[in-house]
């Protein structure tokens, strides 16, 4: 999106001068409900209403104590600290805001019982295959919510990559059979929260609400229904979270509680995108500040994560979605730009309530030292233990790209993959990292390999056999292409997701022969992996690449899988005598992709630019 300087100027005037919005006497309380029996008894309510700070607050309910009332710079806000006793019972009670000579404003607050039988916070693991969906571009299941009157963007135009196209939650629900057949076990969906921005609101990363699904996608209830449908199928939901920024039309930005709700600058200041300043022992404070406190873009204000009220507001909303909808895991956007002290606090708060829920952070950086720094355990002498389980493994991504497109050398070609995984000692648990071939911000994988189908299959073979949790981007299974010039080209519609589409790529009949070959290859490996103990939880042993071939094993006491990647432009015969640590006792193998039986594994023929997955047999 092009920077909007006038928008920033107006925003700065608003936040600096507190030009208060015209709002009702009691506009909202968030979170609008909570639950009894939470591990953390503390709850902070944010109250928004016209001059609400002038009113007295009255609250009486057994087991609930109003500990403190915070009045802030903007009189349209109150922050209420509640403490909920373990003995408190579910129920509804009034919170009254009283002003002499004016009508009392009352909010009926609800405390609910936690559903102990509901599936939630299961976490994702190496047993999963995550499918990433950009919801506006996947499938339109409800034409009635394509345009919502009163929102800032009401343009619907599938011929434009910048406008909304109409994909929604119902469309995803309608395609769950397709996803399950493909072998998917978990969905990561780009943010679904209300994004009431005037332009390019479809991508979702500039939310304007924390507790509401965008009505163009559906409702909170429909989102919960989607999660329930996934759980019925033994699948999981990964919720995409954005700590680092919000939309310029976020309700707290339009009427700031106080000036330092956001990180403010005398003029627009963008982040440097230099993650090194987070750990550089020689970094200047000015550089650290600009990295963390600089805005991601003109239309994406940067919340001040040093502010405890901001922290509470963000963290509680995330807990709310787990408890309300049954979310299983989190993907954390732009992780490296956050205040790491806050992220450590956030991780502890989440784990306190949901010990099995895990998170993986987007770390779009170069180099394992940069990437590993943000993960848990202080393995590399980090100043802060962030508590972050894993990352989106960009180092593995750069390495597989080099293995497929580069030329063999001391550090190049397939050697890059070997080297990258040799650095896994820098993680507490590298298997928690998410490995991938592309996503919504990157060139489509099929385009990265120049639409070379052999390389395409080789990359997929690596994805399903590498250590970590594999993640897939929607439409790659039908050979969707595109480059990020601009990024809308990698976010095109999945044909067949709209009733008016002339072809339906969700069906074999609607796909071309080559597309069906791709789909079937992905399905074969994904479903094989669902049953493979070695690929899910086996150890990894890799051998130094020789002659442009890279060999590694995934193995348990019960199963051994040998992966042979030929990085050269010609067929190779790989002799296996140097792999006896893992091949001893095995005489034959089965090609997982083709089911072909190899009667002699003393040497293996591998076609050019091909990766073979061989299950070894006695």
**Which positions are catalytic?**
333, 362
Instruction: Give Dmax (Cα) for the chain.
Output: 93
Distance of alpha carbon 29 from alpha carbon 78, whole angstroms: 9
Query: Which of 468, 480, 403 lies closest to 443 in space, CA to CA?
Result: 480
Structure tokens belonging to residue 389: 């389980």
Q: Name the CA dihedral angle for 197, 200, 204, 207, rounded to a multiple of 10 degrees.
A: -20
CA 80 to chain centroid, in Å, comes to 31
Q: 502: which 2 tokens?
A: 């002339």
Contact predicate 515/479, CB 8 Å: yes
Which are the contacts of 144, defined by CB distance < 8 A and separation ≥ 6? none
Task: Tell me if the bond preceding 368 is cis, omega within 30° of 0.
Answer: no
Cα(392)–Cα(362) distance, integer angstroms = 5
Q: What is the DSSP letter of 291?
A: H
Q: Rounded distance, CA 245 to CA 275, Å?
A: 16
Cβ contacts of residue 325 below 8 Å, gap of 6+?
120, 220, 223, 224, 227, 237
Q: Scanning the structure block, which residue is given the tokens 């944010």?
A: 46
DSSP string, 503-537: S-TTSGGGS-HHHHHHHHHHHHHHHHHHH-HHHHH
Classify residue 35 as exposed, middle or buried by CB count within 10 Å of its CB (0-12, 13-18, 19+): buried
């Amino acid at each position: 999106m092009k920077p909007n300087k006038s928008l920033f100027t107006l925003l700065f005037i608003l936040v600096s001068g507190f030009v208060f919005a015209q709002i009702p006497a009691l506009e909202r309380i968030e979170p609008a409900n909570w639950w009894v029996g939470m591990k953390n008894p503390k709850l902070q309510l944010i109250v928004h209403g016209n001059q609400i700070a002038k009113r007295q607050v009255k609250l009486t309910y057994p087991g609930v104590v109003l500990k403190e009332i915070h009045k802030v710079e903007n009189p349209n806000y109150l922050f209420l600290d509640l403490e909920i006793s373990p003995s408190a019972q579910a129920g509804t009670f009034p919170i009254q805001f009283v002003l002499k000579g004016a009508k009392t404003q009352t909010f009926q607050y609800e405390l609910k019982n936690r559903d102990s039988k509901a599936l939630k916070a299961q976490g994702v693991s190496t047993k999963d295959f995550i499918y990433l969906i950009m919801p506006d571009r996947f499938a339109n299941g409800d034409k009635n919510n394509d345009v919502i009157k009163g929102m800032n963007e009401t343009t619907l135009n599938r011929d434009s990559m910048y406008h909304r196209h109409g994909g929604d939650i119902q469309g995803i629900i309608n395609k769950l059979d397709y996803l399950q057949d493909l072998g998917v076990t978990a969905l990561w969906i780009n943010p679904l929260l209300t994004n009431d921005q005037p332009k390019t609101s479809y991508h979702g990363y500039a939310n304007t609400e924390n507790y509401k699904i965008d009505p163009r996608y559906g409702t909170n209830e429909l989102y919960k229904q989607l999660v329930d449908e996934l759980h019925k199928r033994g699948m999981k939901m990964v919720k995409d979270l954005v700590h680092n920024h919000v939309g310029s039309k976020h309700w707290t930005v339009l009427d700031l509680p106080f000036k330092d709700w956001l990180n403010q600058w005398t003029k627009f200041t963008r982040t440097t995108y230099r993650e090194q300043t987070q750990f550089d022992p020689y970094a200047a404070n000015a550089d650290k500040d600009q990295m963390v406190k600089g805005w991601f873009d003109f239309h994406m204000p940067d919340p001040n994560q040093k502010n405890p009220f901001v922290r509470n507001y963000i963290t509680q909303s995330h807990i709310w979605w787990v408890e309300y909808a049954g979310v299983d895991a989190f993907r954390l956007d732009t992780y490296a730009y956050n205040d790491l002290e806050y992220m450590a606090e956030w991780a502890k708060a989440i784990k306190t309530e949901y010990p099995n829920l895990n998170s993986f952070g987007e770390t779009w950086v170069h180099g394992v030292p940069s990437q590993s720094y943000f993960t848990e355990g202080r393995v590399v002498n980090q100043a802060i233990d962030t508590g972050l389980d894993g990352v989106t493994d960009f180092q593995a991504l750069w390495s597989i790209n080099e293995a497929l497109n580069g030329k063999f050398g001391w550090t190049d070609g397939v050697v890059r993959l070997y080297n990258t995984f040799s650095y896994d000692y820098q993680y507490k648990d590298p298997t928690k990292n998410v490995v991938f071939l592309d996503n919504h911000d990157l060139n489509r994988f099929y385009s990265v390999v120049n639409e070379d189908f052999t390389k395409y299959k080789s990359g997929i073979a690596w994805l399903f056999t590498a250590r970590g949790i594999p993640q897939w981007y929607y439409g790659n299974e039908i050979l969707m292409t595109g480059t990020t010039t601009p990024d809308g080209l990698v976010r095109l519609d999945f044909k067949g997701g709209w009733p008016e589409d002339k072809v339906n790529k969700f069906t074999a009949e609607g796909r071309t022969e080559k597309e069906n070959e791709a789909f079937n290859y992905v399905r074969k490996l994904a479903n094989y992996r669902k049953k493979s103990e070695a690929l899910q939880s086996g150890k990894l042993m890799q051998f130094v690449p020789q002659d442009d071939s890279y060999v590694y094993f995934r193995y348990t006491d019960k199963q051994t899988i040998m992966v042979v990647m030929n990085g050269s432009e010609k067929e190779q015969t790989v002799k296996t005598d140097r792999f006896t640590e893992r091949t001893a006792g095995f005489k034959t193998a089965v090609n997982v992709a083709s089911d072909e039986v190899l009667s002699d594994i003393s040497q293996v023929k591998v076609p050019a630019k091909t990766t073979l997955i061989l299950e070894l047999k006695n």
